[in-house]
Chains A and B, each alone.
Chain A
Amino acid sequence: MTRDTSDSEGAEPTETDREDQPSDAASATTGVILRGEDVTKEYQTGTQTVRALKGIDFGIAPSDFVAIVGPSGSGKSTLLNLLGLLDVPTDGAVSLRGQDVSTFSDADRTRNRKRAIGFVFQSFYLIPTLTALENVEMPRMLDKTPVKTRERAKTLLQRVGLGDRLDHYPDELSGGQKQRVAIARSLINDPALLLADEPTGNLDRDTGDEILALFDELRAEEDVAIVTVTHDAYVAEEADRVVNLVDGVIEDTGETAADGGHGA
């Protein structure tokens, strides 16, 4: 991986939070993948305005592992939407490697999302009619580089330990294997950030452990930052930082609460 690896403390959960650096644009360009400042998101439902996020700050650097926890309706989905460039904030700014997301067109956001962000879901969302290999290739199908894509997909499936399951269909795979295919799929475009929405929600504890171990490997070896939304206290324990979202604001920051900060 040739990505900037200047931050090496990411794998150690109790290290100093990089959020106590001044959050100016200059630092945003050095190592931070995604930064949010005073991010507010409002929705109109009928005549009512719902404020899903009420001004939060966050920054995600390479090989970070951040867990977002909170009751339902606390704004987790909204935050995940913003992190995944699937939406733009009503107020405040989200920037991807220093570029303000609100200046992007819909097509720009799609392109940047494809380049920088991988998604992993609770229900895997593999396409049932495609083999493991084809599922991994899917995000790059429109690139019209079938040979390169296939090589990369094979490498990734071997990387997640499914080198012998290339031609299996999703219903021939166990839950853990499906999630590993999904992780391989999310990595096909070399993303800097992996957004995992309840990645272990449908898995038993042992399989969940395997997935978390895989996340650790990916962070260590490929500097991929991982942000996960989870209900699972045990996943949160594994994270460097825990963002506790309640009613659209960050209440405390779990393991990194020591810095007394608001930052996540």
Chain B
Amino acid sequence: MSLRHRIAGRFPRLVIARRNISRAKVRSILAAASILIGVVAIGAIGAGGAAFKQSQLQSIQAQGATSVYVSPGTDMEASHFDREDVKAIDETVGAATIVATEPGSMELITSDGTREGVSVTYIDDPRQLHEVERGGIPDNWRQSVVVSHEFAADRGVELGERLKLVSETETETGTVETEHTYRVVAVLAESQSFGGGGLFLPIEETGERQYSRVEVMTESTDRAEAVAEALRDRFNDRKDRLLVFELTSLVRLLKTLVNGINAFLAGLGSISLLVAGVSIANTMLMAVIKRREEIGVLRAVGYGKADIVRILLVEAVLLGALGSAVGLAIAVAVAMVANALFLGDPFAFTQSALLYLAGAVAFGILTSLLAGAYPAWRAANERPIDALRG
């Protein structure tokens, strides 16, 4: 007596069901294929969509979605923040990095004498925002300029070079132009965040130490949302002292949008699974009709109705499991392509991608089980002698 025989003897219904499936191979394969298509549709759309969403979230976060931008509000007496204001903001937001800046614009006098507008950011220390690629920033960097990677690359600016800049100041008599010369002491590293281009000058160059923009950098979009909330609570109770701007609402919108589209597509995929269910039901019904006598014999020799139902349900589930297993393999492959495409790593499965894949398999098997119910019930309730005497 072989071991295989002994083990098979422990799971007789499974053995019978498996044998029945392999009897009508083509029909079984077609039924399993219909489940496969449904599982691939749900799994691939769901997991691929999840990868797409993740990539969009990552890029939107790289664009500064984890930051909150604060400007003086309409009810603030001065049109800028002083040190005290920045300190108050710092206290309100708790554990976050605060970067206070003053944006401006100047004209660059190029080597051939023409003028070109450039954006200038006055800041205490550019390293708060970006890493330094080349050069260094001295503690006291008056008369020095730090240039962004893009600026240096576009204009071929080198370290030590002197830039001639013209600033304009409004006075009662008109616009006064002042020419300054700054030495390039550092080039910053490349950055994706917006407002990164241009020149960085010491905050002292504004004359007074005043800022009109404060960036609060946090760890996550959720944290950014909390910070924005705290700032509004503290400063904008009755008056709009601060203009708080954050990208988290944009992130939320994107999430809702992508989730909605994904659910809709996966829903379309589920329709294909329902069709697969119909196909399984049809296959099982044909099998039951074809095996009418055989089921009659089983009933006559002592198989109960419940035994017949179970054997046929196992058979339907086996068909579903077969289709789901192959479907899962294909869906995972598709998802890996999507991961590689959107996230740069084929194995970067997000949690929701895994959920979609598991859900597709569960749905595939459940569909088969439900589809097998009616044929199984019908077969079990056939009167054995009717089946056997035609």
Residues of B within 8 A of A (CB-CB), count: 32
Of A121, A141, A189, which contacts B12 at CB under 8 A?
A: A141
Which residues of A sit under 8 angstroms from B13, Cβ to Cβ?
Answer: 142
Of A87, A139, A146, which contacts B8 at CB under 8 A?
A: A146
Chain B: which residue is nearest A147 at the CB level? B1
- Which residues 81-98 in B have Cβ within 8 Å of A in the complex? none
Of A106, A119, A127, A141, which contacts B300 at CB under 8 A?
A: A119
Q: B48 at interface (Cβ–Cβ under 8 A)?
A: no
A111 touches B6 (CB 8 A): no
Chain B: which residue is nearest A124 at the CB level? B297
One digit per residue, 1 when the CB lies within 8 angstroms of any chain B CB and 0 when it does not, for chain A 177-202 equals 00000000110010000000100000
B5 touches A146 (CB 8 A): yes
With A86-B383, A144-B12, A147-B6 as known contacts, state yes or no: A106 contacts B305, CB within 8 Å: yes
A142 touches B12 (CB 8 A): yes
Q: B168 at interface (Cβ–Cβ under 8 A)?
A: no
With A106-B305, A146-B9, A186-B301 as known contacts, state yes or no: A86 contacts B384, CB within 8 Å: yes
Q: A114 at interface (Cβ–Cβ under 8 A)?
A: yes
User: What is the CA–CA distance of A141 and B307 in the complex, to the nearest angstrom?
Assistant: 11
Measured CB to CB, the closest approach of chain A to B25, in angstroms, equals 12
- Which residues 185-235 in A have Cβ within 8 Å of B in the complex? 185-186, 189, 197
Measured CB to CB, the closest approach of chain A to B322, in angstroms, equals 18
Q: B155 at interface (Cβ–Cβ under 8 A)?
A: no
User: What is the CA–CA distance of A86 and B13 in the complex, to the nearest angstrom?
Assistant: 23
Q: A145 at interface (Cβ–Cβ under 8 A)?
A: yes
A125 touches B305 (CB 8 A): no
A86 touches B301 (CB 8 A): no
B300 touches A84 (CB 8 A): yes
Q: B293 at interface (Cβ–Cβ under 8 A)?
A: yes
Q: B294 at interface (Cβ–Cβ under 8 A)?
A: yes
- Which residues 1-37 in B have Cβ within 8 Å of A in the complex? 1, 5-6, 8-10, 12-13, 15-16, 19, 22-23
User: What is the CA–CA distance of A87 and B19 in the complex, to the nearest angstrom?
Assistant: 30
B294 touches A86 (CB 8 A): no
Which residues of A sit under 8 angstroms from B293, Cβ to Cβ?
Answer: 123, 125
One digit per residue, 1 when the CB lies within 8 angstroms of any chain B CB and 0 when it does not, for chain A 89-127 equals 000000000000000001100110111001101010101
One digit per residue, 1 when the CB lies within 8 angstroms of any chain A CB and 0 when it does not, for chain B 102-142 equals 00000000000000000000000000000000000000000
User: What is the CA–CA distance of A125 and B385 in the complex, to the nearest angstrom?
Assistant: 12
With A81-B385, A87-B383 as known contacts, state yes or no: A146 contacts B1, CB within 8 Å: yes
Which residues of B sit under 8 angstroms from A147, Cβ to Cβ?
Answer: 1, 6, 9
Chain A: which residue is nearest B307 at the CB level? A142
Q: B388 at interface (Cβ–Cβ under 8 A)?
A: yes
Measured CB to CB, the closest approach of chain B to A259, in angstroms, equals 30
Measured CB to CB, the closest approach of chain B to A186, in angstroms, equals 7
B16 touches A141 (CB 8 A): yes
Chain A: which residue is nearest B310 at the CB level? A142
Chain B: which residue is nearest A123 at the CB level? B293
User: What is the CA–CA distance of A118 and B22 in the complex, to the nearest angstrom?
Assistant: 29
Q: B347 at interface (Cβ–Cβ under 8 A)?
A: no
Measured CB to CB, the closest approach of chain A to B154, in angstroms, equals 77
With A125-B293, A197-B389 as known contacts, state yes or no: A113 contacts B300, CB within 8 Å: yes
Q: A77 at interface (Cβ–Cβ under 8 A)?
A: yes
- Which residues 138-152 in B have Cβ within 8 Å of A in the complex? none
Of B1, B12, B15, B297, which contacts A119 at CB under 8 A?
A: B297
A110 touches B303 (CB 8 A): yes
Q: B296 at interface (Cβ–Cβ under 8 A)?
A: yes
Chain A: which residue is nearest B16 at the CB level? A141
With A125-B294, A139-B301, A186-B301 as known contacts, state yes or no: A150 contacts B5, CB within 8 Å: yes
Measured CB to CB, the closest approach of chain B to A179, in angstroms, equals 14
Which residues of A sit under 8 angstroms from B23, Cβ to Cβ?
Answer: 129
Which residues of A sit under 8 angstroms from B9, Cβ to Cβ?
Answer: 141, 144-147, 149
With A81-B385, A129-B19, A142-B307 as known contacts, state yes or no: A114 contacts B302, CB within 8 Å: yes
Interface residues of A (CB under 8 A from B): 77, 80-81, 84, 86-87, 106-107, 110-111, 113-115, 118-119, 121, 123, 125, 127, 129-130, 138-139, 141-142, 144-147, 149-150, 185-186, 189, 197
Sample of 25 A–B contacts (CB below 8 Å): A77-B385, A80-B385, A84-B385, A86-B300, A86-B385, A87-B385, A107-B306, A110-B303, A110-B305, A113-B302, A115-B302, A123-B293, A125-B294, A127-B294, A129-B23, A138-B298, A142-B12, A142-B13, A142-B303, A144-B12, A145-B9, A146-B6, A146-B9, A146-B10, A185-B301
